[in-house]
Structure 1
Amino acid sequence: MNIRYENIMNNLIKYGQTSELIKAEVLIGSQARQFNLADEYSDIDIIVFVTDIDYFINSDEWINYLGTHYISFVEKTVAGGMERRIVFESALDVDLIFLNAEDLSRIDEVSEIVSRAYKILLDKGNFTNIIQRAAKSLKVFSKPSEKEFENLINEFWFHVIWAGKKVKRGELWVAINCIDGYMKAILLKMIEYDSYASHGEDYDTWHNGRFIEQWAEPWVVNEFHNIYAIYSEKDIIRALNATMVLFRKLSVETANKWNYQYPAVCDKYATEWLEIERMSHFEI
Protein backbone atom coordinates (compact mmCIF):
# COMPACT_ATOMS: atom_id res chain seq x y z
CA MET A 1 0.00 0.00 0.00
CA ASN A 2 1.16 3.54 -0.79
CA ILE A 3 2.55 5.04 2.43
CA ARG A 4 0.91 8.37 1.59
CA TYR A 5 -2.40 6.79 2.59
CA GLU A 6 -1.13 5.27 5.82
CA ASN A 7 -2.66 7.86 8.16
CA ILE A 8 -6.05 7.77 6.47
CA MET A 9 -6.03 3.98 6.48
CA ASN A 10 -5.06 3.75 10.14
CA ASN A 11 -7.71 6.28 11.09
CA LEU A 12 -10.37 4.31 9.22
CA ILE A 13 -9.35 1.09 10.96
CA LYS A 14 -9.40 2.79 14.38
CA TYR A 15 -12.78 4.32 13.68
CA GLY A 16 -14.12 0.97 12.54
CA GLN A 17 -12.90 -0.70 15.69
CA THR A 18 -14.92 1.69 17.85
CA SER A 19 -18.02 2.15 15.68
CA GLU A 20 -20.86 -0.29 16.15
CA LEU A 21 -22.04 0.52 12.62
CA ILE A 22 -18.94 -0.89 10.91
CA LYS A 23 -18.49 -4.67 10.77
CA ALA A 24 -15.65 -5.08 8.26
CA GLU A 25 -13.27 -3.16 6.00
CA VAL A 26 -11.67 -4.67 2.90
CA LEU A 27 -8.96 -3.01 0.81
CA ILE A 28 -9.36 -3.64 -2.92
CA GLY A 29 -8.00 -2.28 -6.18
CA SER A 30 -4.47 -1.31 -7.15
CA GLN A 31 -3.34 -0.74 -3.56
CA ALA A 32 -4.01 -4.42 -2.81
CA ARG A 33 -2.72 -5.92 -6.08
CA GLN A 34 0.65 -7.53 -6.72
CA PHE A 35 0.48 -6.67 -10.44
CA ASN A 36 -0.53 -3.49 -12.29
CA LEU A 37 0.56 -1.86 -9.08
CA ALA A 38 -0.57 1.46 -7.69
CA ASP A 39 1.42 4.52 -8.69
CA GLU A 40 1.54 8.11 -7.48
CA TYR A 41 -1.83 8.84 -9.11
CA SER A 42 -3.68 5.84 -7.71
CA ASP A 43 -6.53 6.26 -5.30
CA ILE A 44 -7.45 3.86 -2.52
CA ASP A 45 -10.58 1.69 -2.66
CA ILE A 46 -12.20 0.07 0.36
CA ILE A 47 -15.37 -1.97 0.79
CA VAL A 48 -16.99 -1.16 4.13
CA PHE A 49 -19.66 -3.48 5.51
CA VAL A 50 -22.01 -1.44 7.68
CA THR A 51 -25.38 -1.75 9.38
CA ASP A 52 -26.55 1.76 8.45
CA ILE A 53 -25.61 2.79 4.92
CA ASP A 54 -27.69 5.98 5.11
CA TYR A 55 -25.53 7.35 7.91
CA PHE A 56 -22.31 7.03 5.92
CA ILE A 57 -23.93 8.34 2.75
CA ASN A 58 -25.73 11.33 4.24
CA SER A 59 -23.45 12.39 7.10
CA ASP A 60 -20.03 14.06 6.94
CA GLU A 61 -19.33 13.71 10.65
CA TRP A 62 -17.52 10.38 10.40
CA ILE A 63 -15.23 11.65 7.61
CA ASN A 64 -13.60 14.04 10.09
CA TYR A 65 -12.14 11.03 11.91
CA LEU A 66 -10.17 10.14 8.79
CA GLY A 67 -8.57 13.53 8.11
CA THR A 68 -9.16 16.95 6.61
CA HIS A 69 -11.16 16.67 3.43
CA TYR A 70 -12.06 19.13 0.69
CA ILE A 71 -14.34 17.25 -1.72
CA SER A 72 -16.92 14.57 -1.06
CA PHE A 73 -19.79 13.17 -3.11
CA VAL A 74 -21.91 10.04 -3.44
CA GLU A 75 -22.51 7.80 -6.45
CA LYS A 76 -23.81 4.34 -7.21
CA THR A 77 -21.27 1.64 -7.99
CA VAL A 78 -21.31 -1.00 -10.73
CA ALA A 79 -21.79 -3.56 -7.96
CA GLY A 80 -25.09 -1.99 -6.94
CA GLY A 81 -23.82 -0.43 -3.74
CA MET A 82 -23.34 3.18 -2.71
CA GLU A 83 -19.93 4.79 -2.80
CA ARG A 84 -18.54 7.85 -1.04
CA ARG A 85 -15.66 9.48 -2.91
CA ILE A 86 -13.50 11.82 -0.86
CA VAL A 87 -10.45 14.00 -1.51
CA PHE A 88 -8.17 14.66 1.46
CA GLU A 89 -5.07 16.80 1.84
CA SER A 90 -2.36 16.38 -0.81
CA ALA A 91 -5.16 15.42 -3.24
CA LEU A 92 -5.39 11.92 -1.75
CA ASP A 93 -8.64 10.42 -3.00
CA VAL A 94 -10.41 7.61 -1.20
CA ASP A 95 -13.35 5.59 -2.55
CA LEU A 96 -15.45 3.88 0.10
CA ILE A 97 -18.03 1.37 -1.10
CA PHE A 98 -20.71 0.69 1.51
CA LEU A 99 -22.49 -2.66 1.58
CA ASN A 100 -25.16 -3.85 3.96
CA ALA A 101 -23.52 -6.13 6.53
CA GLU A 102 -26.89 -7.66 7.39
CA ASP A 103 -27.96 -8.44 3.82
CA LEU A 104 -25.26 -10.11 1.73
CA SER A 105 -27.56 -11.29 -1.05
CA ARG A 106 -25.64 -9.14 -3.56
CA ILE A 107 -22.14 -10.06 -2.42
CA ASP A 108 -21.41 -11.92 -5.67
CA GLU A 109 -21.68 -8.61 -7.50
CA VAL A 110 -18.26 -7.63 -6.08
CA SER A 111 -16.65 -10.92 -7.10
CA GLU A 112 -14.95 -9.25 -10.08
CA ILE A 113 -13.40 -6.68 -7.75
CA VAL A 114 -12.19 -8.93 -4.96
CA SER A 115 -11.10 -11.78 -7.24
CA ARG A 116 -8.13 -9.72 -8.42
CA ALA A 117 -6.85 -8.72 -5.02
CA TYR A 118 -8.05 -7.80 -1.57
CA LYS A 119 -6.75 -7.33 1.95
CA ILE A 120 -8.86 -7.63 5.06
CA LEU A 121 -8.29 -4.54 7.19
CA LEU A 122 -10.94 -5.19 9.82
CA ASP A 123 -13.24 -8.12 10.48
CA LYS A 124 -15.67 -8.08 13.40
CA GLY A 125 -17.65 -11.02 12.06
CA ASN A 126 -17.24 -13.74 9.48
CA PHE A 127 -16.46 -11.46 6.56
CA THR A 128 -13.06 -12.95 5.75
CA ASN A 129 -14.74 -16.20 4.73
CA ILE A 130 -17.49 -14.31 2.91
CA ILE A 131 -14.97 -12.36 0.83
CA GLN A 132 -12.98 -15.52 0.09
CA ARG A 133 -16.11 -17.20 -1.28
CA ALA A 134 -17.00 -14.14 -3.35
CA ALA A 135 -13.49 -14.05 -4.84
CA LYS A 136 -13.77 -17.70 -5.87
CA SER A 137 -17.25 -17.26 -7.38
CA LEU A 138 -16.07 -14.98 -10.19
CA LYS A 139 -18.06 -15.70 -13.29
CA VAL A 140 -15.89 -16.57 -16.28
CA PHE A 141 -16.64 -15.16 -19.71
CA SER A 142 -19.81 -16.52 -21.23
CA LYS A 143 -19.72 -16.58 -25.01
CA PRO A 144 -22.77 -14.85 -26.49
CA SER A 145 -25.13 -16.86 -28.62
CA GLU A 146 -25.21 -16.07 -32.31
CA LYS A 147 -28.51 -14.26 -31.76
CA GLU A 148 -27.01 -12.12 -28.98
CA PHE A 149 -24.00 -11.38 -31.15
CA GLU A 150 -26.26 -10.35 -34.02
CA ASN A 151 -28.32 -8.17 -31.69
CA LEU A 152 -25.25 -6.24 -30.56
CA ILE A 153 -24.25 -5.57 -34.15
CA ASN A 154 -27.74 -4.41 -35.07
CA GLU A 155 -27.74 -2.13 -32.03
CA PHE A 156 -24.53 -0.50 -33.21
CA TRP A 157 -25.75 0.14 -36.78
CA PHE A 158 -29.09 1.45 -35.52
CA HIS A 159 -27.20 4.12 -33.59
CA VAL A 160 -25.18 5.05 -36.65
CA ILE A 161 -28.43 6.26 -38.19
CA TRP A 162 -29.69 7.72 -34.90
CA ALA A 163 -26.52 9.74 -34.35
CA GLY A 164 -26.47 10.84 -37.99
CA LYS A 165 -30.00 12.24 -37.65
CA LYS A 166 -28.95 14.18 -34.56
CA VAL A 167 -26.06 15.74 -36.46
CA LYS A 168 -28.38 16.61 -39.35
CA ARG A 169 -30.78 18.27 -36.92
CA GLY A 170 -27.94 20.28 -35.40
CA GLU A 171 -27.97 18.45 -32.05
CA LEU A 172 -24.20 18.05 -31.92
CA TRP A 173 -24.03 17.63 -28.14
CA VAL A 174 -26.41 14.65 -28.28
CA ALA A 175 -24.71 13.20 -31.33
CA ILE A 176 -21.20 13.36 -29.94
CA ASN A 177 -22.34 11.83 -26.64
CA CYS A 178 -23.91 8.95 -28.54
CA ILE A 179 -20.89 8.33 -30.75
CA ASP A 180 -18.20 8.82 -28.11
CA GLY A 181 -20.27 7.39 -25.25
CA TYR A 182 -23.01 4.89 -25.99
CA MET A 183 -21.52 3.57 -29.22
CA LYS A 184 -18.05 3.33 -27.72
CA ALA A 185 -19.51 1.06 -25.02
CA ILE A 186 -20.81 -1.22 -27.79
CA LEU A 187 -17.42 -1.03 -29.50
CA LEU A 188 -15.71 -1.97 -26.23
CA LYS A 189 -17.90 -5.06 -25.97
CA MET A 190 -16.88 -6.08 -29.49
CA ILE A 191 -13.21 -5.48 -28.68
CA GLU A 192 -13.65 -7.83 -25.72
CA TYR A 193 -15.35 -10.41 -27.93
CA ASP A 194 -12.53 -10.20 -30.45
CA SER A 195 -9.97 -10.71 -27.67
CA TYR A 196 -11.79 -13.77 -26.35
CA ALA A 197 -12.15 -15.17 -29.87
CA SER A 198 -8.43 -14.67 -30.46
CA HIS A 199 -7.00 -15.76 -27.11
CA GLY A 200 -9.57 -18.04 -25.52
CA GLU A 201 -12.41 -17.60 -23.06
CA ASP A 202 -10.12 -17.37 -20.04
CA TYR A 203 -8.38 -14.29 -21.45
CA ASP A 204 -8.42 -11.33 -19.07
CA THR A 205 -10.06 -8.19 -20.47
CA TRP A 206 -10.52 -6.55 -17.07
CA HIS A 207 -13.65 -4.38 -16.89
CA ASN A 208 -14.92 -1.07 -18.27
CA GLY A 209 -11.90 -0.73 -20.54
CA ARG A 210 -9.34 -0.85 -17.74
CA PHE A 211 -5.82 -1.47 -19.10
CA ILE A 212 -7.24 -1.86 -22.61
CA GLU A 213 -3.95 -0.61 -23.98
CA GLN A 214 -2.38 -3.77 -22.57
CA TRP A 215 -4.90 -6.49 -23.44
CA ALA A 216 -6.46 -5.33 -26.73
CA GLU A 217 -4.70 -6.09 -30.00
CA PRO A 218 -2.06 -3.42 -30.86
CA TRP A 219 -3.73 -2.61 -34.20
CA VAL A 220 -6.99 -1.93 -32.36
CA VAL A 221 -5.34 0.40 -29.86
CA ASN A 222 -3.63 2.19 -32.71
CA GLU A 223 -7.04 3.15 -34.10
CA PHE A 224 -8.20 4.87 -30.92
CA HIS A 225 -6.72 8.21 -31.91
CA ASN A 226 -9.03 8.25 -34.96
CA ILE A 227 -12.39 7.38 -33.44
CA TYR A 228 -13.10 10.33 -31.13
CA ALA A 229 -14.56 13.64 -32.26
CA ILE A 230 -14.11 17.31 -31.59
CA TYR A 231 -17.21 19.48 -31.38
CA SER A 232 -17.93 20.16 -35.03
CA GLU A 233 -20.32 18.64 -37.53
CA LYS A 234 -17.50 17.69 -39.85
CA ASP A 235 -15.38 15.98 -37.23
CA ILE A 236 -18.32 14.18 -35.61
CA ILE A 237 -19.10 12.52 -38.95
CA ARG A 238 -15.40 11.74 -39.45
CA ALA A 239 -15.21 10.08 -36.02
CA LEU A 240 -18.45 8.21 -36.66
CA ASN A 241 -17.06 6.78 -39.91
CA ALA A 242 -13.80 5.77 -38.22
CA THR A 243 -15.75 4.06 -35.44
CA MET A 244 -17.84 2.22 -38.03
CA VAL A 245 -14.75 0.96 -39.84
CA LEU A 246 -13.18 -0.35 -36.63
CA PHE A 247 -16.42 -1.93 -35.39
CA ARG A 248 -17.02 -3.62 -38.73
CA LYS A 249 -13.52 -5.08 -38.90
CA LEU A 250 -13.75 -6.44 -35.35
CA SER A 251 -17.27 -7.82 -35.87
CA VAL A 252 -16.46 -9.61 -39.10
CA GLU A 253 -13.24 -11.00 -37.67
CA THR A 254 -14.97 -12.23 -34.52
CA ALA A 255 -17.87 -13.72 -36.48
CA ASN A 256 -15.44 -15.69 -38.60
CA LYS A 257 -13.56 -17.02 -35.58
CA TRP A 258 -16.79 -18.10 -33.89
CA ASN A 259 -18.32 -19.42 -37.10
CA TYR A 260 -21.19 -16.95 -36.77
CA GLN A 261 -22.98 -15.26 -39.64
CA TYR A 262 -22.20 -11.55 -39.87
CA PRO A 263 -25.49 -9.61 -40.34
CA ALA A 264 -24.31 -7.60 -43.31
CA VAL A 265 -27.75 -6.20 -44.16
CA CYS A 266 -27.87 -3.77 -41.23
CA ASP A 267 -24.28 -2.67 -41.88
CA LYS A 268 -24.94 -2.06 -45.58
CA TYR A 269 -28.17 -0.15 -45.00
CA ALA A 270 -26.78 2.16 -42.29
CA THR A 271 -23.55 2.79 -44.19
CA GLU A 272 -25.34 3.66 -47.42
CA TRP A 273 -27.86 5.86 -45.60
CA LEU A 274 -25.07 7.83 -43.92
CA GLU A 275 -23.24 8.26 -47.24
CA ILE A 276 -26.37 9.58 -48.96
CA GLU A 277 -26.97 12.02 -46.10
CA ARG A 278 -23.33 13.02 -46.13
CA MET A 279 -23.48 13.91 -49.81
CA SER A 280 -26.77 15.80 -49.53
CA HIS A 281 -26.36 17.60 -46.20
CA PHE A 282 -23.18 17.28 -44.21
CA GLU A 283 -20.38 19.67 -45.04
CA ILE A 284 -17.71 17.00 -45.49
Structure 2
Amino acid sequence: MRTDQDVLAKIIEVAQKDDLIRAAFMNGSRVNPLAPKDRFQDFDIVYIVTSIDPFKKDHSWINAFGERVIVQVPDEMDLYLYPGEASQNRFAYLMQFSDGHRIDLTLFNQEVAAEAYYADSLRQVLIDKDAIFHEDEQHTSNDANYHVKRPDEHLFYACCNEFFWVSTYVAKGLCRDELPIAKTMMEGPVRSMLIQMLSWKIGIAHDFKVNVGKDGRWLKRFLAKDEWEAYAITYPNGDQWAMWEALEAMCRLFRDVGMNVAHELNYDYPLEEDKRVVSYLRGMRQN
Protein backbone atom coordinates (compact mmCIF):
# COMPACT_ATOMS: atom_id res chain seq x y z
CA MET A 1 0.00 0.00 0.00
CA ARG A 2 1.42 3.36 -0.99
CA THR A 3 1.70 6.13 1.57
CA ASP A 4 0.83 9.75 0.93
CA GLN A 5 4.55 10.45 0.80
CA ASP A 6 4.97 7.81 -1.92
CA VAL A 7 2.25 9.43 -4.05
CA LEU A 8 3.69 12.90 -3.62
CA ALA A 9 7.17 11.62 -4.48
CA LYS A 10 5.80 10.08 -7.68
CA ILE A 11 4.09 13.36 -8.63
CA ILE A 12 7.38 15.21 -8.20
CA GLU A 13 9.37 12.50 -9.97
CA VAL A 14 7.16 12.62 -13.08
CA ALA A 15 7.55 16.40 -13.21
CA GLN A 16 11.32 16.27 -12.73
CA LYS A 17 11.90 13.72 -15.48
CA ASP A 18 9.83 15.44 -18.18
CA ASP A 19 11.41 18.52 -19.76
CA LEU A 20 8.01 19.69 -20.97
CA ILE A 21 6.93 20.12 -17.35
CA ARG A 22 8.52 23.29 -16.00
CA ALA A 23 6.86 23.59 -12.61
CA ALA A 24 4.46 21.82 -10.29
CA PHE A 25 2.44 23.05 -7.35
CA MET A 26 -0.29 21.75 -5.06
CA ASN A 27 -3.62 23.34 -4.11
CA GLY A 28 -6.54 22.12 -2.02
CA SER A 29 -7.02 20.69 1.43
CA ARG A 30 -3.59 19.08 1.61
CA VAL A 31 -2.02 22.52 1.79
CA ASN A 32 -4.73 23.94 4.05
CA PRO A 33 -3.41 23.86 7.63
CA LEU A 34 -6.97 24.20 8.96
CA ALA A 35 -8.55 21.39 6.94
CA PRO A 36 -9.25 18.11 8.74
CA LYS A 37 -6.82 15.42 7.64
CA ASP A 38 -8.00 12.00 6.53
CA ARG A 39 -7.20 9.28 4.02
CA PHE A 40 -9.74 10.58 1.50
CA GLN A 41 -7.98 13.85 0.74
CA ASP A 42 -7.23 14.36 -2.93
CA PHE A 43 -3.93 15.54 -4.32
CA ASP A 44 -4.87 18.70 -6.22
CA ILE A 45 -1.88 19.16 -8.50
CA VAL A 46 -0.98 21.60 -11.25
CA TYR A 47 1.75 21.07 -13.84
CA ILE A 48 2.98 24.09 -15.78
CA VAL A 49 3.99 22.82 -19.23
CA THR A 50 5.58 24.27 -22.36
CA SER A 51 2.76 22.80 -24.44
CA ILE A 52 -0.34 20.83 -23.54
CA ASP A 53 -0.73 19.18 -26.95
CA PRO A 54 1.87 16.38 -26.53
CA PHE A 55 0.18 15.25 -23.32
CA LYS A 56 -3.29 15.27 -24.88
CA LYS A 57 -2.23 13.22 -27.90
CA ASP A 58 -1.27 10.19 -25.84
CA HIS A 59 -2.82 9.74 -22.41
CA SER A 60 -0.65 6.73 -21.57
CA TRP A 61 1.84 8.97 -19.76
CA ILE A 62 -0.47 9.09 -16.73
CA ASN A 63 0.09 5.34 -16.22
CA ALA A 64 3.20 6.34 -14.28
CA PHE A 65 1.04 7.48 -11.37
CA GLY A 66 -0.26 4.00 -10.57
CA GLU A 67 -3.07 1.51 -11.13
CA ARG A 68 -6.36 3.30 -11.68
CA VAL A 69 -9.93 2.33 -10.90
CA ILE A 70 -11.25 5.07 -13.15
CA VAL A 71 -10.11 8.24 -14.85
CA GLN A 72 -12.11 11.21 -16.05
CA VAL A 73 -10.88 13.68 -18.66
CA PRO A 74 -13.47 16.47 -18.26
CA ASP A 75 -12.04 18.65 -21.04
CA GLU A 76 -12.85 15.90 -23.55
CA MET A 77 -16.41 15.50 -22.31
CA ASP A 78 -19.49 17.42 -23.38
CA LEU A 79 -21.60 16.73 -20.29
CA TYR A 80 -21.12 20.09 -18.60
CA LEU A 81 -19.30 22.17 -21.21
CA TYR A 82 -20.93 24.72 -23.45
CA PRO A 83 -19.61 25.22 -26.99
CA GLY A 84 -16.30 27.07 -26.87
CA GLU A 85 -16.00 26.74 -23.09
CA ALA A 86 -13.05 24.32 -23.12
CA SER A 87 -9.78 26.19 -22.70
CA GLN A 88 -6.73 25.76 -24.89
CA ASN A 89 -4.54 26.68 -21.93
CA ARG A 90 -5.65 23.99 -19.49
CA PHE A 91 -6.33 20.26 -19.49
CA ALA A 92 -7.29 18.06 -16.56
CA TYR A 93 -7.07 14.43 -15.49
CA LEU A 94 -9.10 13.19 -12.52
CA MET A 95 -7.64 9.87 -11.38
CA GLN A 96 -8.91 7.45 -8.73
CA PHE A 97 -6.36 4.76 -7.88
CA SER A 98 -6.99 1.26 -6.64
CA ASP A 99 -5.04 1.90 -3.44
CA GLY A 100 -7.51 4.63 -2.43
CA HIS A 101 -5.47 7.66 -3.43
CA ARG A 102 -6.79 10.24 -5.87
CA ILE A 103 -4.99 12.83 -7.97
CA ASP A 104 -6.76 15.73 -9.65
CA LEU A 105 -4.09 16.89 -12.07
CA THR A 106 -4.44 20.01 -14.22
CA LEU A 107 -2.00 21.06 -16.92
CA PHE A 108 -1.59 24.74 -17.73
CA ASN A 109 0.40 26.26 -20.55
CA GLN A 110 3.31 28.29 -19.21
CA GLU A 111 1.85 31.46 -20.76
CA VAL A 112 -0.78 31.45 -18.02
CA ALA A 113 1.43 30.14 -15.22
CA ALA A 114 1.20 33.21 -13.03
CA GLU A 115 -2.57 33.46 -13.45
CA ALA A 116 -3.04 29.80 -12.53
CA TYR A 117 -0.69 29.99 -9.57
CA TYR A 118 -1.75 33.22 -7.89
CA ALA A 119 -5.48 32.55 -8.34
CA ASP A 120 -5.54 30.37 -5.22
CA SER A 121 -4.29 31.29 -1.75
CA LEU A 122 -4.02 27.56 -1.05
CA ARG A 123 -0.79 26.91 -2.96
CA GLN A 124 2.55 25.25 -2.37
CA VAL A 125 5.34 24.91 -4.91
CA LEU A 126 6.63 21.37 -5.43
CA ILE A 127 9.12 21.99 -8.22
CA ASP A 128 10.08 25.15 -10.14
CA LYS A 129 12.73 24.50 -12.78
CA ASP A 130 12.79 28.06 -14.13
CA ALA A 131 12.22 29.95 -10.87
CA ILE A 132 8.87 31.18 -12.18
CA PHE A 133 7.50 31.63 -8.68
CA HIS A 134 10.65 32.75 -6.84
CA GLU A 135 8.96 36.00 -5.75
CA ASP A 136 6.43 33.96 -3.79
CA GLU A 137 8.91 32.03 -1.64
CA GLN A 138 7.64 33.61 1.59
CA HIS A 139 4.00 32.74 0.90
CA THR A 140 2.32 30.58 3.53
CA SER A 141 -0.56 28.55 2.15
CA ASN A 142 -3.87 29.73 3.64
CA ASP A 143 -7.59 29.53 2.91
CA ALA A 144 -8.28 33.28 2.65
CA ASN A 145 -9.82 32.86 -0.82
CA TYR A 146 -12.44 30.56 0.67
CA HIS A 147 -13.58 32.64 3.64
CA VAL A 148 -17.29 33.32 3.93
CA LYS A 149 -17.92 36.74 2.39
CA ARG A 150 -20.02 39.35 4.17
CA PRO A 151 -23.20 39.92 2.11
CA ASP A 152 -24.61 43.31 1.31
CA GLU A 153 -28.32 43.79 1.98
CA HIS A 154 -29.25 43.19 -1.66
CA LEU A 155 -27.53 39.78 -1.66
CA PHE A 156 -29.06 38.89 1.70
CA TYR A 157 -32.57 39.54 0.41
CA ALA A 158 -31.84 37.71 -2.86
CA CYS A 159 -30.91 34.62 -0.84
CA CYS A 160 -34.17 34.83 1.15
CA ASN A 161 -36.25 35.35 -1.96
CA GLU A 162 -34.64 32.45 -3.82
CA PHE A 163 -35.15 30.11 -0.87
CA PHE A 164 -38.86 30.82 -0.55
CA TRP A 165 -39.54 31.11 -4.28
CA VAL A 166 -38.06 27.72 -5.11
CA SER A 167 -39.72 26.16 -2.05
CA THR A 168 -42.99 26.50 -3.96
CA TYR A 169 -41.49 24.36 -6.75
CA VAL A 170 -40.75 21.64 -4.20
CA ALA A 171 -44.33 21.75 -2.97
CA LYS A 172 -45.71 21.66 -6.51
CA GLY A 173 -43.61 18.58 -7.29
CA LEU A 174 -44.83 16.84 -4.15
CA CYS A 175 -48.47 17.67 -4.89
CA ARG A 176 -48.08 16.21 -8.37
CA ASP A 177 -46.28 13.15 -6.98
CA GLU A 178 -43.28 14.08 -9.16
CA LEU A 179 -40.41 13.03 -6.91
CA PRO A 180 -37.53 13.81 -9.32
CA ILE A 181 -38.35 17.52 -9.71
CA ALA A 182 -39.30 17.96 -6.04
CA LYS A 183 -36.07 16.36 -4.89
CA THR A 184 -33.97 18.28 -7.42
CA MET A 185 -35.39 21.63 -6.31
CA MET A 186 -35.02 20.77 -2.63
CA GLU A 187 -31.45 19.56 -2.87
CA GLY A 188 -30.44 22.21 -5.40
CA PRO A 189 -31.51 25.85 -4.99
CA VAL A 190 -33.37 25.51 -1.69
CA ARG A 191 -30.55 23.74 0.13
CA SER A 192 -27.93 26.01 -1.43
CA MET A 193 -29.67 29.06 0.02
CA LEU A 194 -30.04 27.42 3.42
CA ILE A 195 -26.33 26.58 3.45
CA GLN A 196 -25.56 30.14 2.39
CA MET A 197 -27.56 31.58 5.29
CA LEU A 198 -25.93 29.20 7.77
CA SER A 199 -22.54 30.15 6.35
CA TRP A 200 -23.24 33.84 6.94
CA LYS A 201 -24.22 33.12 10.53
CA ILE A 202 -20.94 31.30 11.04
CA GLY A 203 -19.08 34.05 9.21
CA ILE A 204 -20.48 36.68 11.59
CA ALA A 205 -19.33 34.65 14.59
CA HIS A 206 -15.80 34.48 13.15
CA ASP A 207 -15.52 38.02 11.76
CA PHE A 208 -15.82 36.55 8.24
CA LYS A 209 -12.46 34.87 8.55
CA VAL A 210 -13.69 31.31 8.31
CA ASN A 211 -14.04 28.64 5.65
CA VAL A 212 -17.03 26.27 5.90
CA GLY A 213 -15.87 24.18 2.93
CA LYS A 214 -17.44 23.50 -0.42
CA ASP A 215 -21.21 23.03 -0.19
CA GLY A 216 -21.00 23.53 3.58
CA ARG A 217 -19.04 20.32 4.10
CA TRP A 218 -17.68 21.58 7.47
CA LEU A 219 -20.88 23.07 8.84
CA LYS A 220 -20.97 20.50 11.62
CA ARG A 221 -17.65 21.82 12.97
CA PHE A 222 -19.09 25.28 13.52
CA LEU A 223 -22.74 24.80 14.43
CA ALA A 224 -23.98 24.20 17.96
CA LYS A 225 -25.30 20.69 18.60
CA ASP A 226 -28.94 21.76 18.45
CA GLU A 227 -28.35 23.78 15.28
CA TRP A 228 -26.68 20.84 13.60
CA GLU A 229 -29.51 18.50 14.58
CA ALA A 230 -32.03 21.00 13.21
CA TYR A 231 -30.11 21.00 9.95
CA ALA A 232 -29.53 17.24 9.75
CA ILE A 233 -33.27 16.46 9.86
CA THR A 234 -33.74 18.40 6.61
CA TYR A 235 -32.29 15.45 4.67
CA PRO A 236 -35.29 13.23 3.88
CA ASN A 237 -35.60 9.96 2.04
CA GLY A 238 -37.83 9.65 -1.01
CA ASP A 239 -41.01 9.27 1.04
CA GLN A 240 -43.49 12.08 0.32
CA TRP A 241 -44.45 12.62 3.95
CA ALA A 242 -40.78 12.81 4.94
CA MET A 243 -40.11 15.37 2.23
CA TRP A 244 -42.96 17.59 3.40
CA GLU A 245 -41.62 17.37 6.95
CA ALA A 246 -38.12 18.20 5.76
CA LEU A 247 -39.36 21.18 3.75
CA GLU A 248 -41.12 22.57 6.82
CA ALA A 249 -37.97 21.99 8.88
CA MET A 250 -35.90 23.86 6.28
CA CYS A 251 -38.30 26.81 6.44
CA ARG A 252 -38.16 26.92 10.25
CA LEU A 253 -34.38 26.79 10.30
CA PHE A 254 -34.05 29.36 7.52
CA ARG A 255 -36.27 31.78 9.44
CA ASP A 256 -34.37 31.32 12.71
CA VAL A 257 -30.96 31.74 11.11
CA GLY A 258 -32.05 34.43 8.66
CA MET A 259 -33.51 36.62 11.39
CA ASN A 260 -30.33 36.21 13.42
CA VAL A 261 -28.15 37.19 10.45
CA ALA A 262 -30.40 40.14 9.65
CA HIS A 263 -30.18 41.36 13.24
CA GLU A 264 -26.39 41.07 13.36
CA LEU A 265 -25.93 42.87 10.03
CA ASN A 266 -28.67 45.44 10.72
CA TYR A 267 -30.69 44.29 7.71
CA ASP A 268 -34.43 43.74 7.35
CA TYR A 269 -35.56 40.13 7.24
CA PRO A 270 -38.58 39.61 4.90
CA LEU A 271 -40.70 38.07 7.63
CA GLU A 272 -44.05 38.80 6.03
CA GLU A 273 -42.95 37.21 2.76
CA ASP A 274 -41.65 34.24 4.76
CA LYS A 275 -45.00 33.83 6.57
CA ARG A 276 -47.02 34.10 3.36
CA VAL A 277 -44.96 31.41 1.63
CA VAL A 278 -45.00 29.06 4.63
CA SER A 279 -48.79 29.44 4.88
CA TYR A 280 -49.08 28.76 1.14
CA LEU A 281 -46.93 25.63 1.43
CA ARG A 282 -49.04 24.29 4.29
CA GLY A 283 -52.18 24.88 2.27
CA MET A 284 -50.71 22.93 -0.65
CA ARG A 285 -49.82 20.07 1.66
CA GLN A 286 -53.33 19.87 3.12
CA ASN A 287 -55.06 19.89 -0.25
- TM-score tier, shorter chain, comes to 0.7 to 0.9
Contact 2:15 2:47 in 1 (8 A): no
Question: Could you tell me the TM-score, scaled by structure 1's length?
Answer: 0.82
Give the Cα–Cα distance (whole angstroms) in 1 for the partners of residues 21 and 7 of structure 2: 16
Specify the alignment match of 2:84 in structure 1: none
Aligned with 1:88 (options 93, 97, 112): 97
Aligned with 2:276 (options 260, 269, 276): 269
Aligned with 2:170 (options 149, 163, 184): 163
1:31 maps to amino acid: R
- Is 1:240 aligned with 2:253? no
Change (3 A) 1:208 1:134: farther
Q: SS of the residue aligned with 1:102?
A: helix
Moved more, 225-234 or 40-49: 40-49
Give the Cα–Cα distance (whole angstroms) in 2 for the partners of residues 153 and 92 of structure 1: 40
RMSD: 3.0
Aligned with 1:122 (options 124, 127, 134): 127
**1:124, distance to aligned residue in structure 2 (A):** 1.8
Q: SS of the residue aligned with 1:39?
A: coil
Give the Cα–Cα distance (whole angstroms) in 2 for the partners of residues 156 and 30 of structure 1: 30
Contact 2:44 2:103 in 1 (8 A): yes
Change (3 A) 1:143 1:41: closer
Specify the alignment match of 2:120 in structure 1: 110
Instruction: List alignment gaps of at least 5 residues for structure 1.
Output: none
Contact 2:149 2:203 in 1 (8 A): no
Specify the alignment match of 1:212 in structure 2: 219
**1:254, distance to aligned residue in structure 2 (A):** 0.7
**1:260, distance to aligned residue in structure 2 (A):** 0.7
Taking the TM superposition and a 5 Å limit, the aligned residue runs for 1:14-33 are 14-33=13-32
Instruction: List alignment gaps of at least 5 residues for structure 2.
Output: 81-86
2:93 maps to amino acid: R
Q: Give the number of equivalent residue pairs.
A: 272
Moved more, 252-261 or 180-189: 180-189
**1:258, distance to aligned residue in structure 2 (A):** 1.1
Contact 1:51 1:100 in 2 (8 A): yes
Change (3 A) 1:209 1:141: closer
Give the Cα–Cα distance (whole angstroms) in 1 for the partners of residues 108 and 137 of structure 2: 12
**1:255, distance to aligned residue in structure 2 (A):** 0.5
**1:201, distance to aligned residue in structure 2 (A):** 2.5
Contact 1:12 1:65 in 2 (8 A): no
Contact 2:163 2:189 in 1 (8 A): no
Percent sequence identity over aligned pairs: 24
Change (3 A) 1:279 1:59: farther
Contact 2:68 2:95 in 1 (8 A): yes
Moved more, 98-107 or 246-255: 98-107
Give the Cα–Cα distance (whole angstroms) in 1 for the partners of residues 143 and 209 of structure 2: 15
